Every structure is written in C-alpha cells, then in structure tokens.
C-alpha cells in the first residue's frame, strides 16, 4: 500500500514538496510498500520509534505518513547558515551529538508538548548488519517524561540496499511497516512516585518493550480476523 498525498499539517511547502519527491523516488526505485500508516495518531504528539539501518531511514519513514515529522540532527550540521536553513525547513532540530544531554531532552520534550511528531531511533546508531540492537534507556526517559504514544516502525530491505558503507542505494524492494501505538500508561503513572532505582528500571522496561514491538513487525499486512 502506498500512502496518498499528505494532508497539510503545518509543514512548509518545501517540506511537503520534498516528501512528494521522496515518495516518487521510493516508488520507482525501491518499489516500496507502506503498511498501516493509519496507525499513526491523527492528532496530538506522537513518537515514531524505528530500527536504524540506513541514512535513508528518516526521509523514507517521514514521507510514508501524512503528518509532519521532526528529526533530530547534530548541532554541527547547523554551522553553515545556508545548510541550516535548508534542513530546518525539513523539520530538522539541532541537538548535541548524542541528544541525551539536558539541552537535548528539553528540546525533545518541548516539541512533544507542542503536539508535534518526532522520529527517534531507540538503538542510537545504525546497525552494522541489519540486525536489531538493544534499545537505549533514553527512549524510555522521553516516553515516560512526555506521556506520548509510541508507534513502532520497522523498515525491511533498506539495510541491504543502502546500509553502512554504501554511498548510493541499489534498486530493490523496501517495506515500511507501522505498528499499533504503545501507551505505557502504567509505567507513566508509576513514575511519579518511583525511587531513583525504580525510575531507571522503568526507562529500561519501556526501551525493551519498544524494541520487542519493533522486532515483532513483519513485512506483511496484518489481518484483524481470518475470512470465514
């Protein structure tokens, strides 16, 4: 299934034009399929938590849905004013190198408090061989501090076509699948009275569940019930 034209939701004209170009390229070059983009909440803040195998992950995942997505980019990319203007128009947001410092956390929580969508990679780095890595506790911190629903996302095929060491992608088939939103209401409620040790355990618990949800996604459409 290929998503239809995006519904304008605040993004710049340049953002949506680039999104349209990415979809056109992905359809022709990757024969891409997008499965269950309707699982992304229609309103309010959301986090897309995706596996990370390629530089192509952000543009392809962002172009697959009809809501604006913000992306984190390291601060040094904004040193050139012209390039900074370009990537800001694509909703890139500057953070420190790891994005895990106090400034980066404030930036992330600020975006979510504004009701915006954010793409995060719980593994923290691109996988060398396409296999899923362990999720970092930072995803749990952001999720529980913000109370934002998390949509697990998994790309299939992109690691083989445009993984580490490859400057330009090979043609082939790419599938992007969105899972059901995760709410973590129990953990969010418990966080208010949790000890420091328990707080760290809750962050780790969320990180594990997010990665497990990504791992359970398969490159096929889900069937609510078998036909009779």
Mean pLDDT of 128-137: 92
Does residue 54 sit within a domain? yes
What are the pLDDT digits (tens) for 190-203? 999 999 999 999 99
Decide: 174 and 22 in contact? Cβ < 8 Å. no
Does residue 100 sit within a domain? yes
Does residue 21 sit within a domain? yes
Give Cα separations from 120 to 46, 104, 139 (angstroms).
10, 13, 8
Q: How confident is the model at residue 5 (pLDDT cuts 50, 70, 90)?
A: very low
pTM over 0.85: yes
Average pLDDT of the chain?
Answer: 90
As a whole number of Å, the CA-based R_g of the chain is: 17
The CATH number for 29's domain is 3.40.1130.10
Q: Is the pLDDT of residue 74 over 90?
A: no
Does residue 41 sit within a domain? yes
Does residue 226 sit within a domain? no
**From 77-81, 182-186, 208-212, the region with the lowest mean pLDDT:** 77-81
* Residue closest to 50 by CA, chosen among 101, 157, 123, 117: 123
**From 33-37, 123-127, 216-220, the region with the lowest mean pLDDT:** 123-127
Domain total for the chain?
Answer: 1
Does residue 130 sit within a domain? yes
pLDDT of residue 44: 96
Does residue 144 sit within a domain? yes
Does residue 222 sit within a domain? no
Mean pLDDT of 5-26: 80
User: What residue numbers bound the domain in which 202 lies?
Assistant: 13-216
* Residue closest to 37 by CA, chosen among 215, 171, 175, 211: 175
């Amino acid at each position: 299934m290929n998503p239809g034209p995006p519904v304008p939701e605040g993004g710049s004209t340049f953002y949506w034009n680039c999104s349209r170009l990415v979809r056109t390229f992905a359809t022709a070059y990757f024969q891409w399929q997008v499965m269950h983009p309707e699982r992304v909440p229609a309103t309010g803040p959301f986090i897309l938590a995706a596996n990370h195998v390629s530089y192509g992950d952000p543009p392809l995942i962002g172009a697959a849905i009809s809501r604006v997505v913000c992306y984190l980019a390291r601060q040094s990319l904004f040193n050139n004013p012209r390039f900074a203007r370009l990537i800001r128009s694509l909703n890139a947001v500057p953070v420190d190198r790891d994005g895990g410092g106090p400034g980066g956390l404030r930036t992330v929580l600020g975006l979510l408090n504004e009701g915006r969508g954010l793409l995060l990679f719980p593994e923290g780095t691109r996988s060398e061989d396409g296999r899923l890595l362990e999720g970092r506790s930072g995803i749990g911190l952001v999720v529980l501090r913000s109370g934002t629903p998390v949509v697990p996302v998994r790309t299939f095929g992109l690691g083989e076509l445009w993984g580490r060491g490859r400057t330009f992608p090979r043609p082939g088939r790419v599938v992007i699948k969105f899972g059901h939103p995760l709410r973590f209401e129990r953990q969010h409620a418990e966080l208010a009275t949790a000890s420091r040790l328990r707080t760290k355990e809750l962050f780790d618990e969320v990180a594990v569940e997010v990665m497990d949800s990504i791992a359970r996604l398969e490159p096929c459409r889900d069937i609510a019930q078998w036909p009779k």
